[in-house]
Chain A
């Protein structure tokens, strides 16, 4: 069972902006960095954001991440049809029985 909660789905028209929330607790997001992954059907997840707000080389600046308290947010601006995919947040949980954790996942639909 995921300890990070995301909305099941978000949608917007091409060119618009969507935001995806990732809610956790003080043992994970509250004290550790967050990463975000994009996954198309039948393919492996791809790193989009690391250290809460940094983009790997090759990731467009339309994708941005932020963190506040025990929640994190992924924003996609200038939405394109090619952005339609599943998105997952991830972090480290520092509790006694912690470790790597992922969010429940969010399906982005471009209307």
Chain B
């Protein structure tokens, strides 16, 4: 059974870079699937951040694209999120997840089938 666990600093200063790692157990990230990130501000709804396939193919939220990057480390069975130049608006619970993405006759299926428990990141000086 696949399990995911986020880790990283819980406090980041404004203008600095937020870095989180997701450790995956019970499943190799080399075997298909996309791997992605979602966030949720306190009291708010879910926001898609982006996802990456083992081939290097990535999709990012257009509103974050200039600041975000996702990378995979298959040797450690981990993947990471970096978000640059953070502000208080980036304060949120960040979730990592395994992503299913497929397309048939131009109809895309995209969903998160397993995720971590989430980690709160606060942006404050």
**B40-82 interface (Cβ within 8 A of A):** 45-48, 50-51, 59-62
**A76-111 interface (Cβ within 8 A of B):** 88, 90-92, 94, 97-105
Task: State whether the Cβ of B112 lies closer than 8 Å to any Cβ in chain A.
Answer: yes
Residue of A nearest to B106 (CB): A31
Tell me the smallest distance from the CB of A102 to a CB of chain B, in Å: 4
Please indicate the chain A residues that have their CB under 8 angstroms from the CB of B48 in the complex: 90, 99-102
**B108-125 interface (Cβ within 8 A of A):** 108-118
Tell me the smallest distance from the CB of A100 to a CB of chain B, in Å: 3
Residue of B nearest to A1 (CB): B63
The answer to whether B111 touches A90 (Cβ under 8 A) is yes
Bound-state Cα–Cα, A91 to B101, Å: 10
Given contacts A32-B108, A44-B118, 9 further A-B contacts (CB under 8 A): A32-B109, A35-B111, A35-B112, A91-B110, A92-B108, A94-B108, A100-B110, A102-B47, A105-B45
By a beta-carbon cutoff of 8 Å, the part of chain A in contact with chain B is: 2, 31-33, 35, 37, 43-45, 47, 50-51, 56, 88, 90-92, 94, 97-105
